[in-house]
Amino acid sequence: YQRRVHGLEKFIPLFKTGIEKNVSLLLGGLCNNLCSTNVPLKSKADILIDLLIDTIESVYLAQPFVHLALYGNTRSRPTIILHLCDILPEIHKSKPTVITKYVYPAAFKLLDDCKVDMKAAVTKLLKTLYTLTGSILIENTPPAKLDKVLLIIKSSQHQALMEPVIILF
């Protein structure tokens, strides 16, 4: 099995267009390896996910990442959300409707997760979404989740104000 995972590193760049059609299957398998106790296999899966992100247009990765963030293995979900944050700027540039259609609803649903590592990942996701889309995020937030979203956004703005500033004279 490990040899197959290692072979993917050469395979992914060569068959870019063929992989785009089946990326959800490939990504699902790689994300399952993120939960492995086998450290080399786990790190190789992370490297291959990064390779997919670099090789394939981010628009094709959005829906599989969102699905895995919602329904994937609980141990891999925070990492998946962080990878999703990495591709959001490119998605926003090329197809912002994908964010509205898939990422917003997932982010609002993920707000209900109580695990510490998930809270940190969802916080980063919401901060990234707010940075990219601004008030559109607030307008699309369900009323029941609005207070949580605003609290996260305000905390990020407050942290930005608290960071040291170098004043040049």
pLDDT higher for 35 or 89?
89
Residue pLDDT, tens place only, 89-101: 999 999 999 999 9
**What pLDDT does residue 167 have?**
35
* pTM of structure: 0.84
pLDDT range class, residue 30, cuts 50, 70, 90: confident
pLDDT in tens, 38-74: 888 888 888 889 988 988 889 999 999 999 999 999 9
DSSP designation for 113:
-
How does residue 164 score in pLDDT terms, banded at 50, 70 and 90? Answer: very low
Torsion of CA 144, 145, 148, 149, to 10 degrees: -140
- Write the DSSP string, 28-95: HHHHHHTT-S-HHHHHHHHHHHHHHHHHS-HHHHHHHHHHHHHHS-TTTHHHHHHHHHHHHHHHHHH-
The band of 81, judged by pLDDT with boundaries at 50, 70 and 90, is very high
Please write the tens of the pLDDT for every residue from 112-154: 988 888 999 999 999 999 999 999 999 999 999 999 999 999 8
Residues 72/31, Cβ–Cβ less than 8 Å? yes
